[in-house]
Amino acid sequence: MRLRIFGGVGLLAAAALLSGCDSQPTTVKMADTKADAAAKLRASQAAKVKLAAQVKANELGQIPVLMFHRVIDKPGSTDDRTPQQFRADLERLAREGYVPITAAEMVAGKIDIPAGKHPVVLTFDDSSPSQLTLNEVGVPAPNTAVAILKDVAAKHPGFPAKATFYVTRDMFGKTVREEQAQMLGWLKENGFEIGNHTRDHINLRGRSHKEVDEQISTIAQQIDSLSGVHPTTIALPYGNQPSNKEWAMHGKAYNHQGAFLAGYTPAPAPFSKAFEPQGIPRIKVMEKKGDCKQFCSEAWLDWLKNNPDMRYTSDGDVRTVAYPKFKNPYLRKSFSKWGLPY
Ligand SMILES: [Zn+2]
């Protein structure tokens, strides 16, 4: 066996010597290919920088993470949207160049959207039937949040039906295990993210480590056993963090990459130094009135539109973090390898 291998190597070496007579030595060829590759890389880098500058990419800019609750005809509080309002909310986003991504994609820095577009994260809390109800053949009922989202997505190519559902034991109103599995299974199969919203929706502030872990672990185990999904993000009930922020991130049955709050600003990009995975702000969806004059969705979407230098704009390449050079101090160190300043 060993001899045969040596024999093979000898033959190869002889062939190389023979062909060496009328062609360049192998080392020179290798150097050429290397130089070619380096030149190609420089050219593609230059093209990337040019495109990033053209679309004014700003991947250190802010991302609106919108917080929805129920979508119902007769809103019980300012947390709810009517189906008409919800449709208009989505239409505005599509019109203004936003592309939905999930919360999990955001915290992982996997923001894979076309050049010049802006990411938006649509989140739905409390797993209510108004968000997801399926008919007898598994099709979303009219005017549920998912039905409206799918409808708007079908009318706007480039605005995919992507969202994150923060689930409690309420499980879209289903109490039978098989029915709960149907709901979570449908979300999973249709590319929606299932996130953790604690089992009983209790305020975690001031609770013991054991209570916090139990609230998050039990629902995580239930989601896993129903759908095989291990949530990577959590929305904290009432936006309240436990005494130790890390308790919401890692525990007996969960490992989160991000914990979301309930207010009141757009979120920093995951590549920015300002990004804090234990407390990512969200924005309530509401017109500019009353308590929402300044700190809800209409006001913030206006602000982001009027302050493009503050808004996240993609360069279309998920592998780079493109931004105007003078923003360099804001780049998180762990992403410096992917940085594409222009
Ligand atoms: Zn909630």
Q: What is the pLDDT of residues 241-283, one digit of tens each?
A: 999 999 999 999 999 999 999 999 999 999 999 999 999 999 9
Report how far ligand 1's centroid is from the alpha carbon of 141 (Å): 22
Confidence check: pLDDT of 20 > 50 = no
Confidence check: pLDDT of 219 > 60 = yes
Report how far ligand 1's centroid is from the alpha carbon of 239 (Å): 8
**Is 215 within 8 Å of 200 (Cβ atoms)?**
yes
E-strand stretches of the chain: 65-68, 98-101, 118-125, 164-167, 193-196, 233-235, 250-251, 254-255, 258-260, 283-284, 321-323, 339-341
Report how far ligand 1's centroid is from the alpha carbon of 76 (Å): 15
- In 3D, which of 316, 320, 264 has the Cα closest to residue 62? 264
Report, as an integer, the average pLDDT of 273-298: 97
Report how far ligand 1's centroid is from the alpha carbon of 126 (Å): 5
- In 3D, which of 272, 275, 236, 271 has the Cα closest to residue 254? 236
Q: How many CB atoms lie within 10 A of CB 70?
A: 20
Alpha carbon of residue 264 to chain centroid: 19
Helix (H) or strand (E) holding 285: none
* Tally: H helices and E strands in the chain: 9, 12
Report how far ligand 1's centroid is from the alpha carbon of 166 (Å): 8
What is the pLDDT, as a whole number, of residue 285? 98
- Distances in Å between the Cα of 162 and the Cα atoms of 165, 182, 202 are 10, 19, 27
What is the pLDDT, as a whole number, of residue 30? 66
Question: Residue 218 is which amino acid?
Answer: T
E-strand stretches of 59-212: 65-68, 98-101, 118-125, 164-167, 193-196
Confidence check: pLDDT of 227 > 70 = yes
**Is 341 within 8 Å of 271 (Cβ atoms)?**
no
What is the pLDDT, as a whole number, of residue 4? 44
Confidence check: pLDDT of 37 > 90 = no
Residue indicated by tokens 């005017």? 143
Report how far ligand 1's centroid is from the alpha carbon of 197 (Å): 7
Report how far ligand 1's centroid is from the alpha carbon of 18 (Å): 75
Report how far ligand 1's centroid is from the alpha carbon of 119 (Å): 23
E-strand stretches of 83-192: 98-101, 118-125, 164-167
Report how far ligand 1's centroid is from the alpha carbon of 25 (Å): 69
CA distance linking residue 189 with residue 173, whole number of Å = 20
Band (35; pLDDT cuts 50, 70, 90):
confident
Report how far ligand 1's centroid is from the alpha carbon of 123 (Å): 11
Band (25; pLDDT cuts 50, 70, 90):
low
Report how far ligand 1's centroid is from the alpha carbon of 220 (Å): 16
| Long-range Cβ contact pairs of 207-216 (< 8 A, separation 24 or more) | 207/242, 207/243, 209/242, 209/244, 209/247, 212/242, 212/247, 212/248, 212/251, 213/247, 213/251, 213/252, 216/248, 216/251, 216/253, 216/254
- In 3D, which of 210, 336, 216, 317 has the Cα closest to residue 273? 336
What is the pLDDT, as a whole number, of residue 24? 56
pLDDT digits (tens, 9 = 90+) for 47-75: 999 999 999 999 999 999 999 999 999 99
Report, as an integer, the average pLDDT of 85-104: 98
Share of the chain above pLDDT 70, in %: 91
Strand, coil or helix: 102: coil
Share of the chain above pLDDT 90, in %: 87
Confidence check: pLDDT of 206 > 80 = yes
pLDDT digits (tens, 9 = 90+) for 140-158: 999 999 999 999 999 999 9
What is the pLDDT, as a whole number, of residue 19? 44
What is the pLDDT, as a whole number, of residue 29? 61
Report, as an integer, the average pLDDT of 89-98: 98
Report, as an integer, the average pLDDT of 204-213: 98
What is the pLDDT, as a whole number, of residue 33? 81
Q: What are phi and psi of 29, to 5 degrees?
A: -55, -45
Q: Is the pTM of this model over 0.85?
A: yes
Report how far ligand 1's centroid is from the alpha carbon of 340 (Å): 38
Report how far ligand 1's centroid is from the alpha carbon of 225 (Å): 22
Confidence check: pLDDT of 21 > 70 = no
Report how far ligand 1's centroid is from the alpha carbon of 112 (Å): 28
Helix (H) or strand (E) holding 291: none
Residue indicated by tokens 């160049």? 97
Report how far ligand 1's centroid is from the alpha carbon of 241 (Å): 13
What is the pLDDT, as a whole number, of residue 15? 42
Arithmetic mean of pLDDT over the chain: 92
Report how far ligand 1's centroid is from the alpha carbon of 68 (Å): 9
Strand, coil or helix: 200: coil
Report how far ligand 1's centroid is from the alpha carbon of 331 (Å): 32
What is the pLDDT, as a whole number, of residue 8? 41
- Distances in Å between the Cα of 209 and the Cα atoms of 230, 239, 243, 315 are 21, 17, 8, 42
Confidence check: pLDDT of 18 > 90 = no
What is the pLDDT, as a whole number, of residue 6? 42
Strand, coil or helix: 57: coil
Report, as an integer, the average pLDDT of 121-132: 98
Band (181; pLDDT cuts 50, 70, 90):
very high
List the single range of 6-15, 103-112, 138-147, 252-261 with lowest mean pLDDT.
6-15
User: Residues 117, 309, 300, CA angle at the centre, nearest 5°?
Assistant: 75
